[in-house]
Structures are given as structure tokens and as C-alpha cells.
């Protein structure tokens, strides 16, 4: 994703293949939209499996923002947003596509030929801004706005990853699941009326099974990287390979791609003649959204310290948060049990803190670099609790603020110095 803008060195074929497929797919999307097919623009935590089962193409907001960030388009877009009378210092991660909609040259200058106009803008109301941003985006494109609500977890499990795959009735408050299923049914009915397509529950079952297959490969990959010394790959490869394929989850291509990723990583891990760096490997965890506009940053610390970012949430979420077993009895409820938890385990302490700690331990993490997103008013996920949980367990944490997609305020030199100091003083110095 970041290949054009930054000089990150990626070594996996799976990463290149994901980018290639994505571009091809996007071309096909454009042709379908131009031929009059419906197209949904959705937020990342929306139940995209419904569209997959109905063969309605969709693009995911955060992933599209990541592409715009990697193509260094965001500076231009936020300037256009400002010219249109909006603030350019709010919600950049979620508002990138809205900002892009003000670009009169989007068709020629936008990433991959720009974003086609969607039929429907779909989001969950997980913060006070999301609905408004999607509403404005929908208005710009002449699309419908469709929103799904977000209820609050009353249960506070310290081990959600042990419950979510089979015991979701125990994990979630049942009325939250009831509500989500009710919302899904209403959404399906709306889609059927809007698009003239029929929702087939058996197709959703197939989609859910393929997702389990795909995420199962991510589990094996995550576990392999956790065990292998030195790490066969870093987040520069895994973030891109996984995030792009997650966009296609529920397709056979995505499941096959996940298997290919695993096999490639395994082959690297098993290479008999791989010459390990004689120095000790320091294993770093990246907490937060991807740094889309400067992927090469992740590799800045390998040569000098043999410090490598081996963990990001993108692969680990695939492993721990997506699989839902015994779905056949009620695939809608199983789907509800997948998407309502996204906000809980990412932004709600102690769900998130305990998971990060578990992952830090199983991945042999020596230090955590934690990016709290700039200008997101919901960038409040209990980071102090997360830091305390990790630090109390002996894992040092560096927390800083930056924007994942807007490079205007990013100072790579300063940030590199900051991380270097952290590695020297807390990671190496702490050993």
C-alpha cells in the first residue's frame, strides 16, 4: 500500500500480490459501478459480510484513507476540505474520503483513478463525529446514509479472546446481540429494496466459513512469528498483506492468499541457511493504527539496533477477533458477535489492555511503541491503563501522538530520535 510514497522494503510475494489484486479489483469495481451496479462505502467495523453475501461491492473507509495517505494525497485533500469551510484539523483518519470528494480532479488525479460514487454510505455510530462525516460524504456523492448503532459492553472480560470464537453468548450481554441481529435484519431488508438483490442466508454461511478459513491461516502465521527467532517478517509486510486481504474477507481469494502468506512466512522461518544477525534481536510491538504515510519508518531501527517491529494489531486481530465457530445454527447472530466487539476490544479498557499484554507475552515483546492518533476526539481508549498494564508486566512503552494518514505534521527525524532513545534507554538499557 505504501510502496509509492515510502521506501519500505517488503520481502513477501504475498504483500506484492495483495497490492496487485487490490488494484485489479478496484479497476473491476469501477467498471461495475459505471455499469450501474450498487456500491457501498463502509466504515471498517461495519458488517461487510452482508454485502459480500449479496455480491454488492464495497470499499472500506479506513483502508481507503490508508491508500490516500500512502499516495501522499491527504495534504491536498485537507486543504480542499478547509476551502469548503470545514475544519482541516479534525478526524483526518475518518474524513479523508469526505475531503477527497471536494477534489474536482479526483477521476484523473485520485488514487487508482479516484473513488467512484457509492450508492450507500454505511457506518456505525461509535463516536460523535462518525455519523456526521458519513452523512456529509453521502451528500457529496448523492448516496444514501445508513447507520448502525453501537451499544456499550457491561461485561468486562479479562480474556475475551478465549471466549469470542465459541462462547460469544457468554462474552457479550445477550441484549446487545439481540439488538445487533435486529439491526442486521433491518439493514438486509433495506439493501434488498434498494438494490433489488436477494439476501441468501446460505451464501452468508459460505462467506462466514471462508472467513474462518482465512483467519485460521492468520492464527498460524501470528503464532509462527511469535515463536520464530529471529522474526521471519516484520509489520511492513504483514500489515499490508493482511489489511488488504481482510477487505476481501469471505472470498476464496482472500482465504487462499492467507494460506500463501502463511506458507511463505513458514518457508522463511525454516530457511536452513538464513544468516541470523549475530546481535540480539529486539522485538517491538506497534500499537495503534498503521503509519500509512511513512511505512519505511518501521524499518529505521533494524540496521542500527536489530530492533524490529514484529507485531501489529492487524495480523493479531485476524487471529483472535474474527473466527466464529459453529456458525451454521445462526449465522446472523455469529456475525453480530463478530462486529459488535470491534469497538469493545480496541477502545474499551480492560478488553484492549489485557489483550495487548497477552500478545506482548506470547510474542516475546521487548518494547512497545504506541501511537495515539492525532485529532481523533475518540482517541481515548484508556491508553494510560494500557501503558500501566504493560509496564507493570515489565514491558516498556513509548507513547506518542501522530496522525496515521496526514503527513503534514510528521517529523520523521524527531520521531526516529524519540524511538532510538527509547530503544537505547528502555529496551536495550532495560535488559
Partner 1 sequence: MGIRTCARENAAFAELLKHYEDPSIHLRECRAAGVRVVGKIGYGVCDELILAAGMESAAVRPGGAGHPLADEYLEYAFTEKGKYLFDAVAGGDRDRCPELVAFSDSEDLANRLYYYLRELKRSEPGRPVPELTLVDWLFSRHMTYQGWNEKALRRFAGRLESWSGQPVTDEALTEAIALYGRQYRAVSAILSQRTAKAPRLTGCEALVVLGAKDCMDKRRYAELVEKLALDVPSWPEAGGVKLFFSGSVQQDLGVYEPVEAAGFVICGEDHDAGTRAFERPIRTDLEPYAALVDSYMLRSPSAAKGLVKERTQALTESVEHTGAACVLFYNDAYDEAASWDHPSQRAALTAQGIPYAECVKRAYPPVTDGGFRETLQLLKNRAGGEYHG
Task: Give me the residues that bind partner 1 (CB under 8 A), please.
Answer: 84-87, 90, 125, 127-129, 131-133, 135-136, 145, 147, 149, 151-152, 154, 156, 175, 179, 182-183, 186, 348-350, 372, 376-380, 382-385, 388, 401
> What are the beta bridge partners of residue 311?
285
- Which residue in 189, 256, 192, 243 sits closest to 44, CA to CA? 243
User: Closest distance between partner 1 and the C-beta of residue 38, in Å?
Assistant: 22
CA distances from 320 to 6, 215, 406 (A): 30, 8, 29
Which stretch in 125-133, 258-266, 278-286, 408-416 sits in contact with ligand SF4 by CB under 6 A? Answer: 125-133
From the list ligand SF4, partner 1, none, which binds 132 (C-beta under 5 to 8 Å, kind-based)? partner 1
Q: Which is nearer to partner 1, 25 or 345 (CB)?
A: 345
Closest distance between partner 1 and the C-beta of residue 50, in Å?
16
- When binding is defined by CB under 6 A, the residue of 15, 130, 238, 306 that contacts ligand SF4 is 130
86 binds, among ligand SF4, partner 1, none (CB under 5 to 8 A by kind): partner 1
The window from 102-110, 124-132, 143-151, 243-251 that contacts ligand SF4 (CB under 6 A) reads: 124-132
**Residue 8, C-beta contacts closer than 8 angstroms, at least 6 positions apart:** 2, 236, 295, 296, 298, 299
Kind and range of the H or E element at 212? helix 201-227
Residue 85 contacts residue 57 (beta carbons within 8 Å): no
Query: Taking CB within 5 to 8 Å according to partner kind, which of ligand SF4, partner 1, none is near residue 336?
Result: none
Nearest CA-CA partner of 144 in 123, 124, 119: 119
Query: Residues 64-103: x/- map of binding to ligand SF4 (CB under 6 A)?
Result: ---------------------------x-xx---------
CA distance readout (Å), 230 to 238, 270, 271, 272:
16, 11, 11, 13
For ligand SF4, the binding residue among 70, 360, 376, 398 (CB under 6 A) is 376
Distance of CA 90 to the CA centre of its chain: 20
Rounded Cα distance between 428 and 284, Å, is 11
| CA–CA dist 373, 400 (Å, integer) | 9
Please report where in the chains the cell 457468554 appears, as a residue. 170
User: Distance (Å, rounded) from C-alpha 262 to C-alpha 219?
Assistant: 9
Answer with the entry of partner 1, ligand SF4, none that 79 interacts with (C-beta below 5 to 8 A by kind).
none
326 binds, among ligand SF4, partner 1, none (CB under 5 to 8 A by kind): none
Q: Which of partner 1, ligand SF4, none has residue 418 at its interface (CB below 5 to 8 Å by kind)?
A: none
Inter-residue contact 311 to 285 (CB < 8 Å): yes
State in angstroms the smallest separation of the CB of 397 from partner 1. Answer: 14
d(Cα 66, Cα 3) in Å, to the nearest integer? Answer: 12
Per CB under 6 A, does 123 bind ligand SF4?
no
Confirm or reject binding of residue 267 to ligand SF4 (CB under 6 A): no
Give residue 222's Cα distance to chain centre. 15
Should residue 378 be labelled a site residue for ligand SF4 when binding is judged by CB under 6 A?
A: yes
Supply φ then ψ for residue 377, to 5 degrees. -70, -10
Instruction: Out of 1, 42, 120, 133, point to the residue binding ligand SF4 (CB under 6 A).
Output: 133
Quick check: helix, strand or coil at residue 77? helix
Complete edge-to-edge strand list for the sheet that includes strand 40-42: 58-60, 40-42, 120-124, 144-148
Q: Which option in ligand SF4, partner 1, none does residue 383 bind, with CB closer than 5 to 8 A by kind?
A: partner 1
Smaller CB separation from ligand SF4, 15 or 92: 92
Please report, as ranges, the residues that interact with ligand SF4 according to CB under 6 A.
Answer: 91, 93-94, 127, 129-130, 133, 376-378
Amino acid at each position: 500500500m505504501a510502496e509509492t510514497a515510502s521506501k519500505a522494503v517488503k520481502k513477501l510475494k504475498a504483500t506484492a500480490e495483495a497490492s496487485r489484486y487490490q488494484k485489479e479489483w478496484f479497476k473491476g469495481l469501477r467498471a461495475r459501478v459505471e455499469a450501474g451496479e450498487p456500491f457501498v462505502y463502509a466504515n471498517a467495523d461495519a458488517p461487510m459480510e452482508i454485502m459480500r453475501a449479496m455480491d454488492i461491492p464495497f470499499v472500506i473507509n479506513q483502508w481507503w484513507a490508508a491508500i490516500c495517505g500512502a499516495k501522499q494525497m491527504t495534504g491536498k485533500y485537507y486543504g480542499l476540505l478547509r476551502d469548503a469551510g470545514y475544519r482541516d484539523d479534525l478526524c483526518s483518519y475518518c474524513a479523508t474520503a469526505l475531503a477527497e470528494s471536494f477534489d474536482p480532479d479526483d477521476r484523473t488525479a485520485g488514487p487508482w483513478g479516484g473513488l467512484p460514487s457509492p450508492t450507500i454510505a454505511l457506518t456505525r455510530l461509535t463516536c460523535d463525529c462518525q455519523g456526521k462525516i458519513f452523512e456529509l460524504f453521502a451528500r457529496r456523492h448523492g448516496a444514501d446514509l445508513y447507520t448502525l448503532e453501537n451499544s456499550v459492553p457491561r461485561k468486562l472480560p479479562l480474556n475475551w479472546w478465549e471466549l469470542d470464537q465459541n462462547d460469544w453468548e457468554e462474552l457479550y450481554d445477550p441484549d446487545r446481540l439481540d439488538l445487533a441481529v435486529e439491526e442486521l435484519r433491518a439493514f438486509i431488508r433495506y439493501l434488498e429494496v434498494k438494490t433489488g438483490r436477494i439476501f441468501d442466508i446460505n451464501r452468508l454461511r459460505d462467506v462466514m466459513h471462508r472467513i474462518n478459513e482465512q483467519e485460521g491461516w492468520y492464527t498460524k502465521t501470528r503464532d509462527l512469528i511469535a515463536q520464530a527467532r529471529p522474526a521471519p517478517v516484520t509489520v511492513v509486510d504483514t500489515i499490508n498483506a493482511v489489511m488488504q486481504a481482510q477487505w476481501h474477507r469471505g472470498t476464496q481469494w482472500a482465504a487462499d492468499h492467507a494460506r500463501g502468506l502463511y506458507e511463505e512466512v513458514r518457508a522463511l522461518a525454516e530457511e536452513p541457511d538464513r544468516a541470523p544477525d549475530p546481535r540480539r534481536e529486539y522485538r517491538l510491538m506497534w500499537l495503534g493504527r498503521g503509519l500509512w504515510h511513512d511505512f519505511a519508518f518501521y524499518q529505521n531501527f533494524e540496521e542500527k539496533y536489530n530492533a524490529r517491529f514484529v507485531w501489529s494489531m492487524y495480523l493479531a486481530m485476524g487471529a483472535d477477533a474474527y473466527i466464529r465457530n459453529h456458525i451454521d445454527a445462526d449465522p446472523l447472530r455469529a456475525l453480530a458477535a463478530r462486529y459488535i466487539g470491534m469497538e469493545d476490544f480496541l477502545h474499551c479498557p480492560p478488553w484492549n489492555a489485557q489483550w495487548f499484554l497477552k500478545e506482548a507475552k506470547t510474542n516475546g515483546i521487548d518494547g512497545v511503541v504506541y501511537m495515539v492518533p492525532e485529532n481523533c476526539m475518540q482517541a481515548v481508549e484508556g491508553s494510560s491503563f494500557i501503558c500501566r498494564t504493560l509496564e507493570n508486566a515489565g514491558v516498556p512503552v513509548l507513547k506518542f501522538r501522530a496522525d496515521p494518514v496526514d503527513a503534514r505534521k510528521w517529523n520523521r527525524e524527531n520521531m526516529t530520535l524519540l524511538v532510538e532513545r527509547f530503544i537505547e534507554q528502555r529496551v536495550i538499557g532495560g535488559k
